Amino acid sequence: MFEKLKKFKNVKIKKLVIGLGYTAALTESGLGLSYTLISRKESCTVNPSAGSFAGRTIEDALEIIHRDIHGIINKTLLIALFNSTIDFGSLKSAGCDAVELMDLKRQDEVYMIGYFEPLVDSIKTRCASLKIIEERHGTTTGRIEAEEWKSDANIITSTSLINGTFEDIAKKCEKSRVNCLMGPSTPLDTDLFKEHNITFLAGLKPLNYDRIFEIVSEGGGTKLFNKHCEKIVVKCGVTD
């Protein structure tokens, strides 16, 4: 994402909000979202580069991000900025219902990495087994060895791109029939995931920028700004 953003180096950042739930970046190209992953603040300052983005170019932002490219906030900003540059007009949408597109079988064992509550009932009506892997539900992907990973299908939270778990999860899912990376943070760019056996990217196209910014800046999340976005699923074409 860092390298691909360089071609947008002259694009200006109009507004950047790091909300309690999500981060939103508005550039001359569009609006991008990314999950705000902050479990504990070290001080009253969450972003030491605050005040350095609005009115500057993406090239300027990349220089700041590069100083600590593995930092949680900088990874969050990188994803939000990248998502703001997605050309939705060129996307070949496969639909809007990721679970339906995954074509789950009755005998499938499905792993949900991260908790997508609205999808639980839909998945359970389609297959016999759903395993939720999420810290608040008592387990994490790091506690499951690769040889113990037995899923046929996986729904993977795009927050894994921020917390550093994506590479490990993708490796464990490489023998699964279908894998879907999902969430508002999802970069809808299939080139990024050619080597990771991701079948579908399920993300959002922001529609009402003003309302989304209001919600994000007031601590709101997906349940509130979903209605101001369009769900989009893109097929990566890695697996059949």
CATH number for the domain spanning 115: value is 3.40.50.11590
Question: Based on the domain organization, do 71 and 97 belong to the same domain?
Answer: no
Q: What is the mean pLDDT of residues 179-191?
A: 97
Could you tell me if residue 18 is inside a domain?
yes
Residue 232's Cβ-count burial label (10 Å; 0-12, 13-18, 19+) is buried
Last residue of a domain, one of 44, 65, 85: 85
Q: pTM here? A: 0.93
Contact predicate 128/106, CB 8 Å: yes
Could you tell me if residue 134 is inside a domain?
yes
Question: Based on the domain organization, do 111 and 76 belong to the same domain?
Answer: no
Over the stretch 107-136, which tens digit does the pLDDT of each residue have? 999 999 999 999 999 999 999 899 999 988
CATH number of the domain to which 54 belongs: 3.30.390.100
Q: What is the pLDDT of residue 22?
A: 97
Question: Based on the domain organization, do 115 and 227 belong to the same domain?
Answer: yes
Q: Which residues of 196-220 are buried (b: 16+ CB within 10 A; e: fewer)?
A: bbbbbbbbbbbeeeebbbebbeeeb
Question: Based on the domain organization, do 97 and 199 belong to the same domain?
Answer: yes
Contact predicate 18/76, CB 8 Å: yes
Q: How confident is the model at residue 240 (pLDDT cuts 50, 70, 90)?
A: very low
Closest CA to 31 of 196, 159, 198, 207: 207
Over the stretch 43-97, which tens digit does the pLDDT of each residue have? 888 888 999 999 999 999 999 999 999 999 999 999 999 999 999 999 999 999 9
Over the stretch 16-51, which tens digit does the pLDDT of each residue have? 999 999 999 999 999 999 999 987 677 888 888 999
Over the stretch 219-235, which tens digit does the pLDDT of each residue have? 999 999 999 999 999 99
Q: What is the pLDDT of residue 237?
A: 67
Q: How far apart are CA 122 and CA 118, in angstroms?
A: 8
Q: What is the mean pLDDT of residues 130-145?
A: 88
The rounded percent of the chain whose pLDDT value lies above 90 is 86
Over the stretch 153-167, which tens digit does the pLDDT of each residue have? 999 999 999 999 999
Last residue of a domain, one of 56, 85, 114: 85
Question: Based on the domain organization, do 183 and 74 belong to the same domain?
Answer: no
Q: Which residues of 9-34 are buried (b: 16+ CB within 10 A; e: fewer)?
A: eebebbebbbbebbbbbbbebbbbbb
Q: What is the pLDDT of residue 98?
A: 96
Indicate whether 238 pLDDT > 70: no
Residue 121's Cβ-count burial label (10 Å; 0-12, 13-18, 19+) is exposed
Q: How far apart are CA 14 and CA 9, in angstroms?
A: 14
Question: Based on the domain organization, do 157 and 110 belong to the same domain?
Answer: yes
Question: Based on the domain organization, do 115 and 54 belong to the same domain?
Answer: no
Could you tell me if residue 240 is inside a domain?
no
Question: Based on the domain organization, do 46 and 98 belong to the same domain?
Answer: no
Question: Based on the domain organization, do 39 and 144 belong to the same domain?
Answer: no
Indicate whether 239 pLDDT > 80: no
Last residue of a domain, one of 85, 116, 141: 85
Strand-pairing partners, residue 104, are none
Per the structure, the complete domain to which residue 44 belongs is given by 2-85
Q: What is the pLDDT of residue 198?
A: 96
Indicate whether 151 pLDDT > 90: yes
